[in-house]
Amino acid sequence: MSAMEFGFPVFRRGRTMSSWFSFDHCNDFSYTKPAAEVVEIRSTDQWKSYFEASKGNNKLLVIQFTATWCGPCRFIDPAVKEFAATYTDVDFIKIDVDKLLLVAMQFEANTLPAFVLMKKGKQVDKVVGVKKLELQSKIEQHKI
């Protein structure tokens, strides 16, 4: 049994490493920026850290209040992911009200889904319910 049968390259005289490992295919590679995503906040500490960091910049922050048992929340999820990919200059986060009830209460997210739009740590708008076009309009309005 030879080394090649086990998948190991066999180097013979006259053969160089570069002939075994060609990087010519690298010229065909083009880098694309990964699509933005919705960050899921899982703890109070993570929320506090994210919230404090958002106060220091002028980016729009869209907070999606949701729950695993909420049908309308699951229905609008693809649209929110699409917005996150489209509006890369906007931060999108998702908060499960069952995990972070105090945060949901702080923003009076009594009906789900609820979207709170914030800038520099202050609430600038709110959308309640499955209102994709209204949410998109408010994102457009406040992202500047």
Domain residue limits, the chain = 39-142
Q: Which residues are catalytic?
A: 70, 73
In the chain, what percentage of residues exceed pLDDT 70? 75
- If we measure between CA atoms, which residue out of 65, 73, 89, 66 comes closest to residue 132? 73
Residue 59's SS3 state is coil
pLDDT of residue 12: 52
pLDDT of residue 56: 86
Q: What is the dihedral of CA 120, 121, 125, 129, to 10 degrees?
A: 130
Residues 22-60 have pLDDT tens digits of 444 444 444 333 457 899 999 999 999 989 988 888 899
The answer to pTM > 0.85 is no
Residues 96-124 have pLDDT tens digits of 999 999 999 999 999 999 999 999 999 99
- If we measure between CA atoms, which residue out of 72, 82, 74 comes closest to residue 38? 82
Question: What fold characterizes domain 39-142?
Answer: Glutaredoxin (3.40.30)
More confident call, 9 vs 105: 105
pLDDT of residue 45: 93
